[in-house]
Homo-oligomer: A and B are copies of this chain.
């Protein structure tokens, strides 16, 4: 039974991409739809997003962020005021040209991001330095017409939050940019149990129109990287063309300094790819929609359903719990099913357990089984959930360490990336042509210039010129 079931999911070492799609579909997270490139997020997948949202939104509010909602449609002309920005996004924009049965006088773009709309409104509202800062955020959908799509990771429509702030001074804006990056790091490390690499994007990889882009980078099970969240500092790049200005303390007109920052449903994809294994999904307890599932064994024996229900009812008060009383399935099938769906703890309860006032608890992360006194169950689960959360983070960190190498020249670089994928740390001269060459040769992009710099010699891995910057590289999703 076990074997048959596991067969349904592609082996993770053989074809990671296919394994990923299998998990998305079979763990009931999402499905394809009649709208090409757009997915339907199903209840189990959406509940993960709700947990991420809840935690993140609380941290936002503690840090002075206020939520708003601005229009999904942006007049084409408004989108086009900042040159770099429009060049970056124009190829991905979807456009409404007809409405109410008539052709529109002016085309309306579906937001790919909302810097332009926020600037337009800020220009209307901002008068004096006393009004600043504006620290607004919206949870919403956006559209980017991607050519190749993959559920959660690269979908034409996705859900995200986009924060847009303006400030009186450069320093305050830069501080906000990094403050939000820290919040993302905490969400991803603490809730999703994925260690992050914090740093600054190179000029080539930064956001269209930004002065600087900061990133939290994560490494997946197969050694590919995912950019999990970004925070941008714009300086006055947008506030000038959009004519956002204020009267400063000296009574003069000045353009404020701007930031934006976002995380998206892509984090669900990262969670799947960072933690999963051949048994399926593996969810960190803090984000798992179901933390504990109770499965009866020999359901038809007298008292089993009753006792299982009693245990479930009690656990439900404290944990996100579920009970599996499906009649047409064997316990073996159910065990596999809940493992596939990544539930952190499974509880098995049969007639003999009931006689002895115990149950068996099974951890999804290590698959370890343990018999636990029913009196002590609640406490045991609490401890175990904490331990799983910690252990998953550590496991993920270990994989990242194993997959992180250094390279002094291109031969080493190529050898490392072929052998281990993962992160490759090198020195870099700062020239975009070296970045381009590395990409062509290896498929790796610069992930970031880490905040924690290491001195790995003084020569660029590509051209051999003098280099003082340490860059981390990797292939990406």
Distance in angstroms between the alpha carbons of A352 and B40 in the assembled complex: 62
* Known A73-B94, A93-B99; further 19 A-B contacts with Cβ < 8 A: A31-B124, A31-B125, A33-B70, A33-B117, A34-B74, A34-B78, A34-B120, A40-B70, A40-B121, A41-B69, A43-B66, A46-B66, A46-B69, A47-B66, A49-B69, A73-B143, A94-B98, A94-B99, A95-B97
Indicate whether A251 reaches chain B with its CB closer than 8 angstroms: no
From known contacts A31-B124, A66-B43, A90-B101, infer whether A110 and B95 are also in contact, taking CB-CB under 8 Å.
no
Distance in angstroms between the alpha carbons of A141 and B159 in the assembled complex: 12
Question: B71 near A47 (CB under 8 angstroms)?
Answer: no
Indicate whether A367 reaches chain B with its CB closer than 8 angstroms: no
Distance in angstroms between the alpha carbons of A125 and B31 in the assembled complex: 10
Question: B94 near A68 (CB under 8 angstroms)?
Answer: no
Question: B100 near A145 (CB under 8 angstroms)?
Answer: yes
Question: A74 near B43 (CB under 8 angstroms)?
Answer: no
Question: B157 near A72 (CB under 8 angstroms)?
Answer: yes
Q: Which residue of B lies closest to A135 (CB)?
A: B43
Question: A43 near B31 (CB under 8 angstroms)?
Answer: no
Question: A67 near B47 (CB under 8 angstroms)?
Answer: yes
Could you say which residues of chain B place their CB within 8 Å of the CB of A72?
38, 72, 110, 141, 143, 157
Copies of this chain assembled into the complex: 2
Distance in angstroms between the alpha carbons of A307 and B64 in the assembled complex: 23
Indicate whether A140 reaches chain B with its CB closer than 8 angstroms: yes
A102-140 CB mask vs B (1 if < 8 Å, else 0) is 000001101000000100110011000010000010001
Distance in angstroms between the alpha carbons of A33 and B116 in the assembled complex: 12
From known contacts A66-B43, A91-B100, A94-B99, infer whether A121 and B33 are also in contact, taking CB-CB under 8 Å.
yes
Question: A96 near B121 (CB under 8 angstroms)?
Answer: no
Distance in angstroms between the alpha carbons of A58 and B256 in the assembled complex: 40
Q: Which of A34-71 contact B (CB under 8 A)?
A: 34-35, 38-43, 46-47, 49-50, 66-71
Question: B38 near A71 (CB under 8 angstroms)?
Answer: yes
From known contacts A98-B94, A110-B96, infer whether A35 and B71 are also in contact, taking CB-CB under 8 Å.
yes
Indicate whether A430 reaches chain B with its CB closer than 8 angstroms: no
Chain A binding surface, main DSSP class: mixed
The contact of A68 among B41, B91, B117, B120, by CB within 8 Å, is B41
Q: Which of A34, A93, A110, A130 has the most CB of B within 10 A?
A: A34
Chain A: interface residue total (CB-CB under 8 A):
55
Q: Which residue of B lies closest to A158 (CB)?
A: B69
Could you say which residues of chain B place their CB within 8 Å of the CB of A71?
33, 35, 38-40, 157
Q: Which residue of B lies closest to A74 (CB)?
A: B35
Distance in angstroms between the alpha carbons of A100 and B112 in the assembled complex: 11
Indicate whether A300 reaches chain B with its CB closer than 8 angstroms: no
Question: A35 near B73 (CB under 8 angstroms)?
Answer: yes
Question: B94 near A101 (CB under 8 angstroms)?
Answer: no
Indicate whether A331 reaches chain B with its CB closer than 8 angstroms: no
Binding site for B on A (CB under 8 A): 31, 33-35, 38-43, 46-47, 49-50, 66-75, 78, 90-101, 107-108, 110, 117, 120-121, 124-125, 130, 136, 140-141, 143, 145, 147, 157, 159, 328
Q: Which residue of B lies closest to A39 (CB)?
A: B71
Q: How far is the CB of A268 from chain B (nearest CB, A)?
A: 11
| 19 A–B contacts, CB within 8 A, in A order | A33-B117, A34-B74, A35-B74, A38-B71, A38-B72, A39-B71, A40-B70, A41-B68, A41-B70, A43-B66, A71-B157, A91-B101, A92-B100, A94-B96, A94-B108, A95-B96, A96-B110, A130-B328, A141-B141
Q: Which of A69, A94, A101, A147 has the most CB of B within 10 A?
A: A69
Could you say which residues of chain B place their CB within 8 Å of the CB of A110?
72, 96, 110
Q: Which residue of B lies closest to A33 (CB)?
A: B71
Q: Which of A42, A140, A157 has the most CB of B within 10 A?
A: A42
Q: Which of A31, A41, A67, A73 has the most CB of B within 10 A?
A: A73
The contact of A31 among B91, B121, B130, by CB within 8 Å, is B121
Distance in angstroms between the alpha carbons of A68 and B49 in the assembled complex: 10
Q: What are the 3 tightest A-B residue pairs by CB atom distance, in nearest-first order?
A: A100-B145, A43-B66, A38-B71
Question: A145 near B99 (CB under 8 angstroms)?
Answer: yes
Q: Which residue of B lies closest to A70 (CB)?
A: B40
Question: A159 near B69 (CB under 8 angstroms)?
Answer: yes
Could you say which residues of chain B place their CB within 8 Å of the CB of A35?
71, 73-75, 108, 117
Q: Which residue of B lies closest to A117 (CB)?
A: B33
Question: B96 near A96 (CB under 8 angstroms)?
Answer: yes
